[in-house]
Amino acid sequence: MALNMIVCVKQVPDPEAPASAFKVDEAAKRVIPAGGVAQVVSQFDGIAVEAALRIKDALGDGKITIISMGPASARDAIKHGLAMGADEGVLLCDDAFENGDSYTTALALAKAIEKIGEYDLVLFGRQATDWDAGTTGSGVAEMLGIPSVTLAKSVTVKDGKIAVERVLLEGYDTIEAPLPAAVTISNELGEPRYPKLQQIMQAARKQVTTWTAADLGLDASQVGRQAVRLNLERLFQPVSEVECEVIEGETPEETAQKLAQRLREEKIL
């Protein structure tokens, strides 16, 4: 069975950049883009591409389409997925999409998926590593009217059904659902494969289609700032109020002794 898979990816500032590079413009309620911080595929989304590739490998067949909503640079995030082994890409790019929330994002993605038409499995990262919202996958599933399973550490497809191992706080569940379905992928799935140079060159030739809001039958009042459910009242950096007391000694024994003593004095131990 040739399975049609769609993976939704987002481009984000590298979340593992040093914390010192992270600055917020409180007046503008936005993060100040730091020079030198790369734009990368949101970690869990890269793992979602990996999940799709593993399913394709296991079935020996299938088509993987990467969709990303974002600025023109988000094409790089799609190209990365194509270099990993996905087949086609769709970029949703329009000023009208700007300053949306996960509701407007899910709406645009759902419309794009409906426009693609043929889909059996839609995959997402468990949360985007900028806003950490963790809602878009459920939203797209709801708008498409298909079942959703979140936080997967493995997904297998058999007999028109998916079996998902879902990560719990203690252990995991195995969940079955009929296709078409949506699944969000967690890091427990494993590391995404790294594209080889040859694949990167091949990806350059793979097709990336660009759609605007109008192409999806949406206008600016339905997506972007005007349509948000969630208002951003304030964005700020939390300040830590602790003053670190550095314990020093001539020998490790003395240092350790002093620490133990301080913890005792403070009634912590």
Binding residues for ligand FAD restricted to 102-131, rule: CB under 6 A: 129
Please say whether the dihedral angle defined by the alpha carbons of residues 66, 69, 72 and 76, taken in this order, is positive or negative.
Answer: negative
Whole-Å CA distances, 22 to 11, 18, 19, 70, 243: 17, 7, 5, 21, 21
Which of the listed partners (ligand FAD, other proteins, none) does 174 bind, with a CB threshold of 5 to 8 Å by partner kind?
Answer: other proteins
Q: Is 32 exposed, middle or buried (0-12, 13-18, 19+ CB in 10 A)?
A: exposed
Assess 230 for contact with other proteins (CB under 8 A): yes
Choose, by CB under 6 A, the member of 8, 11, 12, 43 that binds ligand FAD.
43
Which run of H or of E encompasses 208?
Answer: strand 208-211
Cβ-based neighbours of 253, under 8 Å, separated by 6 or more: none
Nearest distance from residue 115's CB to other proteins, in Å? Answer: 19
Instruction: Give me the residues paired with residue 122 across strands.
Output: 6, 182
> Residue 121 and residue 235: Cα distance in Å, rounded?
35
Assess 11 for contact with ligand FAD (CB under 6 A): no
Q: Considering the complex, state which of residue 187 and residue 222 has its C-beta at the smaller distance from ligand FAD.
A: 187
Binding residues for other proteins restricted to 107-136, rule: CB under 8 A: 126-127, 129-135
Q: Residue 20 CB: number of other CB atoms within 10 A? A: 7
Choose, by CB under 8 A, the member of 159, 250, 265, 266 that binds other proteins.
266
Closest CA to 13 of 131, 184, 188, 151: 131
> Residue 191 and residue 48: Cα distance in Å, rounded?
10
Q: Considering the complex, state which of residue 93 and residue 167 has its C-beta at the smaller distance from ligand FAD.
A: 167
Which of the listed partners (other proteins, ligand FAD, none) does 235 bind, with a CB threshold of 5 to 8 Å by partner kind?
Answer: other proteins
Nearest distance from residue 202's CB to other proteins, in Å? Answer: 29
Q: Considering the complex, state which of residue 16 and residue 219 has its C-beta at the smaller distance from ligand FAD.
A: 16
Assess 150 for contact with other proteins (CB under 8 A): yes
Nearest distance from residue 251's CB to other proteins, in Å? Answer: 8
Assess 37 for contact with other proteins (CB under 8 A): no
Give residues in contact with ligand FAD (CB under 6 A): 15-16, 43, 129
